[in-house]
Structure 1
Amino acid sequence: MKFKQALQQRVLVADGAMGTLLYGNYGINSAFENLNLTHPDTILRVHRSYIRAGADIIQTNTYAANRLKLTRYDLQDQVTTINQAAVKIAATAREHADHPVYILGTIGGLAGDTDATVQRATPATIAASVTEQLTALLATNQLDGILLETYYDLPELLAALKIVKAHTDLPVITNVSMLAPGVLRNGTSFTDAIVQLNAAGADVIGTNCRLGPYYLAQSFENLAIPANVKLAVYPNAGLPGTDQDGAVVYDGEPSYFEEYAERFRQLGLNIIGGCCGTTPLHTSATVRGLSNRSIVAHDQPATKPQPPTLVTTKSQHRFLQKVATQKTALVELDPPRDFDTTKFFRGAERLKAAGVDGITLSDNSLATVRIANTTIAAQLKLNYGITPIVHLTTRDHNLIGLQSEIMGLHSLGIEDILAITGDPAKLGDFPGATSVSDVRSVELMKLIKQFNSGIGPTGKSLKEASDFRVAGAFNPNAYRTSISTKSISRKLSYGCDYIITQPVYDLANVDALADALAANHVNVPVFVGVMPLVSRRNAEFLHHEVHGIRIPEPILTRMAEAEQTGNERAVGIAIAKELIDGICARFNGVHIVTPFNRFKTVIELVDYIQQKNLIKVQ
């Protein structure tokens, strides 16, 4: 009987995990797909154990057997060999089975993978990777279908499905993965995903991984989908934990799967399998739990569930509105390094009185420990009525912490963030500290903007939409007179709203940046950095030791001469004023970095700006 016919006639039981089984039962922790070549007997033994447990469907050991993921093991040139070996092993495993067994060629999703090679992949590169793996699988002529599994990104899954449908008439099973029941990571409901995949030609549509039977059963309740859609479920063995060595473990009992098997059948499921943490024991339990194999039509709700109403809270972002038509000043401050905040807040009040439009707060600049800038930002806004722009680094926060910080900022009414990588941890007070690298700064920008749609980290509604404006950093000192705007354009594509640059000391770089932006039709607010020099030693330190800053020789000479005359502060301010004049001739925004929290110096520059009528303060 062909696989398509079997799907029409009875509920089919699929196999369970491969990777977690190899790790947990065999102690293998390497490129699991390469075991098709190095340890084929081990893979064969796993397949046969699932078949003996009663699995009607087994999937090839090819989840990550694509060029992009194999690159991390330097196996990218073994794509065809690994995939075809996997099919051969699966075919051998079913040769003497006492019941019909169908083989699915597995292709796993890529979006959300933490590997840098995968993160940098373009849609075209991903499509090429899927095509290469699919071609290798199909060339064996021994498959009964294709399984596209663990796709967190619906557009990626739809693109992969289109490729598969263009190459074969075999049945295609498409499984999305959800972080929360009933909704995908981008906020698309499971119902909508099923409808879209059905319209695109998927033969079976389901979900796998991340969640256990309890939550996945919830996801299949009250689906407003066509009656003829075939459904699949591959739950994890519950939620993961860790053992005493920190390894991820699953302890969901097989008896729990036995309990849920019949419930899944009653919900209208056509294929019931297992994912992470499941074993042949879970498969045999699923078989035992089914009262029979007849297919139950899934329920059809009278009306499609409506998405929750979002509360929108649009703030003014006054300084961004102003910079479109007027010269606008932002000032950067470093939060205090001790608990005495009196001088800091007194200086912030003076800056507000001087007319600055917003205060940017560094996030442990140069990796030196300071009071959390989010705490200082809250006090500036709530106690002093000052607009804070919070630096948020990927260095100090993992993905969980970043999203928690973003939600906290919104709850405080702070909606302006500069998304940056941050200075390396080894530069600062604790050179043994590690830098976190869950995401890059551009991915952080995209993450922040997701909250503006009212969608949380798992795809669930937040019941309120944020209104974040995200700044990106740019260093014009690195390009001299020929400035590439590629990095700015890339940041804009990830949701960046405006640019704050590193301090500049060469007006040629300012002109080059302005010309490059104009030539490439990049039209976003840009706040060009100015940091007044306080001494010759300060200038030499910045020039020689701070990454991304270069000071022209004439300025270094002027500061050296000023040291001889004891006039360093005055010369430093004069240089800053010259830079401000040049910046304001090409840009509406100036970002003044406060040196050593010397508020008097910054206020003098703000007064100068107003006297020269370069920046009109409201």
Structure 2
Amino acid sequence: MTILDTLKKRILVGDGAMGTLLYAEGLDTCPEHYNLTHPDKVEAIHRLYVEAGADVIQTNTYGANFEKLKAYGLEHRVKEIHQSAVAIAKRAAGPDTFVVGTVGGFRGIKKLELSLSAILYHTSFQIDTLVQEGVDAILFETYYDVEELLAVVEYARSFKIPIIAQLTAQDTCFLKDGTVIQDALIRLEATGADIIGLNCHHGPHHMNQTYKHLALPEHAFLSCYPNASLLDIEDNMLKYSDNAVYFSQVTRELVREGVRLIGGCCGTTPSHIRRIKDAVADLKPATSKNVIPFQRGAQSVIQKKEPSLKELVEQRPTIIVELDTPKHLDKGQFFRGIEALEKAQVDAVTLADNSLACVRMCNIAAASMIKHHYNIRPLVHIACRDKNIIGLQSSLMGLAALGISDVLAVTGDPSKVGNFPGATSVFDVNSLGLAEIIRQFNRGIGADGSSLRKHTTFTVAGAFNANVSKLHASVQRLRKKQEAGVDYFITQPIYDKNKIREIYNSARQLDTSIFIGIMPITSYKNALFLHNEVPGIKLPEELIEAFRIVKDDRDKTQKLSLEICQELIDETLKYFNGIYLVTPFLKYELTVELAEYAQRLTKKQGVVL
């Protein structure tokens, strides 16, 4: 009798976590490697679950794909690990125990630079091996991305083997892209999944809240594998609650909501499975239920009161100036610079987010003061280095509440280049992932898929490193950023007029606006430092030589610097509307003079800023 035939008649109990028990025993590598190095330990855990009452056990193959195993130098042993995993599980399984081959999802919370076709290629190798080794079903679990799960289900259905497809949601009603969970399950059923449901992230309470909104499938069964609980910290260690009795009590409610296959995910143990088995012993599968209608919260738009920088630069020449917040608490010079830029009528001041990983005054706080006390627009940089996915969203919500809608999404320089090289770099997402989160905010959806109740109106700038030998590859990176939600681009400082023309010829295919970065050089030593030590900046050799010649004359050095920048502005305005002036060392007098030069030039050309 197949697993599907059995589910027609009764509730089946799955197993619990494998990794949780292996780590408790001192796991020193990835859990899947134990299939080869410690098969006896893996088999012993399988037996514990079978003895506890599990009707269905999973192969120890959740993370056994090429990409994940590559981190351990095990990518060449993918097939061997799967073959061993099936053999171990079959030895442990009783005569009435089903063995399902587990395949984990690739796309999680962090941005993954791997195409869907590449994911399908690696996953197909796993599926092929598991089917060849004779598993009773394929279990796809912990899939955050419904498109990825649909693709692998579509592939697996050709094997005529039962398919279990389980999504993972951070919110009780939505996937991380805002898709309603019920809608996603309907699509999975239509694609050919035989058992559909959720696993991981949530404990039994929140899972039960979700299933109250889920209708019984017409041609599939519902499954559910909750975590033991929310994570807690004890003695600096992450742990789950020892709550097997409570878990089993909620299990009865989940069965009433239509779940027919129920097991445990992270933190669950044989004790949980034993309690679940006892809890469902007298329960019959639900054939009907009252579904609580899903209601998305009403959303309104955070009103935009002025045109975005993207809209401005599409209409006319636009000047933005970067002015770094101070590295100390004396903000006098910084705000004197803001006043000077306001008087010069630049279009926006851009505020870096601890650039070069050096500690500076919070740019959001500075942006708030600028917006409320000066007639100049702040463009706020958001770096992924210093904030996890929670902090990034908190910053976005704060900016929206302040009425600041112009942002620059950057990955951020690594911490080791700054003044605290031992600090931790976060990088939950890179700039592409951040742009995608902002795009969801503009739809009124958080990164976990939940409703924000209002739509934000962010316009997103992206960084463009044009100082590379192969500009084509850098331009292709811009295309990916556009697809992620970036609206326009800002380059690193450029010091070569030929590079400006090259950028125009290479990037015009993108149909986007570009601000060309221009930064005055303050000395010969500054020129050498920029050229040799600052990522993304390169100077022509003849320019460095010109500064060497006047290195002992401060006035000639400044005159040379301004002349070079003016020539770059001349060249920029032949091809682009956007000028991005970077202020060196808070010497705002230099960028004010250049901004005024650009304004005079455009007025001569009959263009009014």
Name structure 2 gaps, 5 residues minimum. Answer: none
Q: Secondary structure at the match of 2:350?
A: strand
Please tell me the residue identity of whatever aligns with 1:546. V
Partner of 2:37: 38
Residue 120 (structure 2) pairs with residue 133 (structure 1):
no
Q: Secondary structure at the match of 1:104?
A: strand
Offset at residue 570 of structure 1 (A): 2.1
Please tell me the residue identity of whatever aligns with 1:258. S
Q: Secondary structure at the match of 2:259?
A: coil
Offset at residue 372 of structure 1 (A): 0.6
Offset at residue 113 of structure 1 (A): 6.7
Please tell me the residue identity of whatever aligns with 2:167. V
Offset at residue 328 of structure 1 (A): 0.8
Alignment of 1:110-509 (within 5 A): 110-112=106-108, 119-141=112-134, 143-166=135-158, 168-224=159-215, 226-227=217-218, 229-244=220-235, 246-290=236-280, 292-301=282-291, 304-315=293-304, 316-479=306-469, 484-509=474-499
Instruction: Decide whether aligned partners of structure 1 residues 318 and 617 sit closer, same or farther in structure 2, where only a CA change above 3 A counts.
Output: farther
Q: Distance in 1 between the 2:409 and 2:215 partners?
A: 40
Query: Do the aligned partners of 1:79 and 1:136 also contact (CA within 8 Å) in 2?
Result: no
Q: Distance in 2 between the 1:16 and 1:237 partners?
A: 9
Partner of 1:73: 72
Instruction: Decide whether aligned partners of structure 1 residues 151 and 544 sit closer, same or farther in structure 2, where only a CA change above 3 A counts.
Output: closer
Instruction: Decide whether aligned partners of structure 1 residues 94 and 422 sit closer, same or farther in structure 2, where only a CA change above 3 A counts.
Output: closer
549-558 or 5-14, which deviates more:
549-558
Aligned pairs, how many?
605
Partner of 2:21: 21
Q: Distance in 1 between the 2:586 and 2:431 partners?
A: 27
Q: Distance in 1 between the 2:169 and 2:324 partners?
A: 40
Partner of 2:539: 551
- 1:103 corresponds, among 99, 106, 109, to 99
Q: Distance in 2 between the 1:225 and 1:358 partners?
A: 54
Please tell me the residue identity of whatever aligns with 1:284. R
Q: Secondary structure at the match of 1:270?
A: strand
Q: Distance in 1 between the 2:471 and 2:47 partners?
A: 66
Q: Secondary structure at the match of 1:196?
A: helix
Name structure 1 gaps, 5 residues minimum. Answer: none
Query: Do the aligned partners of 2:519 and 2:581 also contact (CA within 8 Å) in 1?
Result: yes
Instruction: Decide whether aligned partners of structure 1 residues 531 and 47 sit closer, same or farther in structure 2, where only a CA change above 3 A counts.
Output: same
Q: Distance in 2 between the 1:253 and 1:125 partners?
A: 40
Q: Secondary structure at the match of 2:277?
A: helix
Q: Distance in 2 between the 1:462 and 1:160 partners?
A: 31
- 2:562 corresponds, among 573, 581, 595, to 573
Instruction: Decide whether aligned partners of structure 1 residues 113 and 76 sit closer, same or farther in structure 2, where only a CA change above 3 A counts.
Output: farther
What's the TM-score once normalised by structure 1's chain length? Answer: 0.93
Q: Distance in 2 between the 1:191 and 1:482 partners?
A: 43
Q: Distance in 1 between the 2:483 and 2:471 partners?
A: 25
Offset at residue 359 of structure 1 (A): 0.7
Deviation track 1:387-414 (CA, whole Å, cap 9, x = no partner) reads 1111111222222222222222122111
Partner of 2:599: 610
Alignment of 1:515-534 (within 5 A): 515-518=505-508, 521-534=509-522
Instruction: Decide whether aligned partners of structure 1 residues 206 and 484 sit closer, same or farther in structure 2, where only a CA change above 3 A counts.
Output: closer
Query: Do the aligned partners of 2:461 and 2:486 also contact (CA within 8 Å) in 1?
Result: yes
Q: Tell me which stretches of 4 or more aligned residues in structure 1 moved more than 6 Å.
A: 480-483
Please tell me the residue identity of whatever aligns with 1:218. Q
Deviation track 1:249-269 (CA, whole Å, cap 9, x = no partner) reads 112311112212221221121
Q: Distance in 2 between the 1:354 and 1:268 partners?
A: 67
Query: Do the aligned partners of 1:191 and 1:225 also contact (CA within 8 Å) in 2?
Result: no
Q: Distance in 2 between the 1:551 and 1:43 partners?
A: 58
Offset at residue 192 of structure 1 (A): 1.1
Offset at residue 317 of structure 1 (A): 3.7
Q: Distance in 1 between the 2:549 and 2:389 partners?
A: 49
Instruction: Decide whether aligned partners of structure 1 residues 242 and 617 sit closer, same or farther in structure 2, where only a CA change above 3 A counts.
Output: farther
Please tell me the residue identity of whatever aligns with 1:567. K
Offset at residue 227 of structure 1 (A): 4.8
What's the TM-score once normalised by structure 2's chain length? Answer: 0.95
Offset at residue 510 of structure 1 (A): 0.5
Partner of 1:55: 54
Please tell me the residue identity of whatever aligns with 1:544. N
Partner of 1:3: 3
Q: Distance in 2 between the 1:101 and 1:407 partners?
A: 49
Q: Distance in 1 between the 2:347 and 2:8 partners?
A: 66
Partner of 1:542: 530
Query: Do the aligned partners of 2:310 and 2:459 also contact (CA within 8 Å) in 1?
Result: no
Partner of 1:93: 92
